Amino acid sequence: MITVIFPAAGQGKRMKAGMNKVFLELGGLPIFIRTLLKFSGCSCIDEMIVVAAPDEVEDMKQLLSTVEGLKPYKVVSGGSERQYSVWNGLKAAAADTEIVLVHDAARPLVSEDTILRTIDEARLSGGAVAAVKAKNTIKRCNGDGVVEETPDRAFLWEIQTPQTFRMQLLMKANQKAEEDGFLGTDDASLVERLGAMVKIVESDYYNIKITTPEDLVIAEAFLKAQEGNR
């Protein structure tokens, strides 16, 4: 069984829309619905779990109930940090889940090819994250803005989602993070702490996380480009 967890319980503060950004429309549909429809088009996906802010669970259920063509889904309540939201989602997954994907509800432009390749790689290696090669030079600085190091760009990747794992591995990683009070910025970092292998799956530059207002403009253009390519 393959389950996808969609963290959607953020506040979208950087979008400055005065609401959770995943409800904003992209090409006439709420962003999170577009994301779920993308995964619903993959025949290998069995179950989808949307993690909603506690006071948005009913709104999300209502919106989802009007959409045709979705894979079986549940809506559960999230927490104050993305990591806690994902953990709640994992606990709600079907007991016979072998492979779990975590995918930001705010990334509706992911390709089916990327989704499938992370699944294949997670089966082989245990963990797989979608990523693109860093386009910019990245420097590590100290707290005063003084440059300390310029890592070789050839080894730098910008990490996206899906982040896909064998279910037992991601459960164990979240359990351990909770015990240790560790808060990571993505799912793979919790798995890395266990010393387990996580592999990169090269994705594409369309798979942006809609974060700030200009991302919506870019996403509308990307959506048109993707639809034009069909």
Candidate segments 6-14, 92-100, 161-169, 205-213, binder of Mg ion by CB under 5 A: 6-14
- When CB distances are held under 5 to 8 angstroms depending on the partner's kind, the choice from Mg ion, ligand CTP, none that residue 51 binds is ligand CTP
Tell me the C-alpha distance between 167 and 163, whole Å: 12
Tell me the C-alpha distance between 176 and 190, whole Å: 8
Task: For residue 71, give every residue at least 6 positions away whose Cβ sits within 8 Å of its Cβ, in sequence order, or none.
Answer: 36, 39, 40, 45, 46, 47, 48
**C-beta of residue 157 within 8 angstroms of C-beta of residue 226:** no
- Residues 77-116 vs ligand CTP: string with x where CB under 6 A? -xxxxx--x------------------xxx----------
The token pair that represents 144 in the structure block? 């005063």
- 185 counts as binding ligand CTP under rule CB under 6 A: no
Nearer to ligand CTP, 58 or 96 (CB): 58
The token pair that represents 121 in the structure block? 């790689």
- Residues 37-76 vs ligand CTP: string with x where CB under 6 A? --------------x-------------------------
Q: Name residues contacting ligand CTP, limited to 200-229 (CB under 6 A).
A: 209, 211
Candidate segments 8-16, 141-149, 155-163, 185-193, binder of Mg ion by CB under 5 A: 8-16
Using left for φ > 0, alpha for ψ between -120 and 50, and beta otherwise, residue 57 falls in: alpha
The token pair that represents 79 in the structure block? 């927490």
Candidate segments 5-13, 64-72, 162-170, 199-207, binder of ligand CTP by CB under 6 A: 5-13
Would you tell me which residues interact with Mg ion (CB under 5 A)?
A: 10
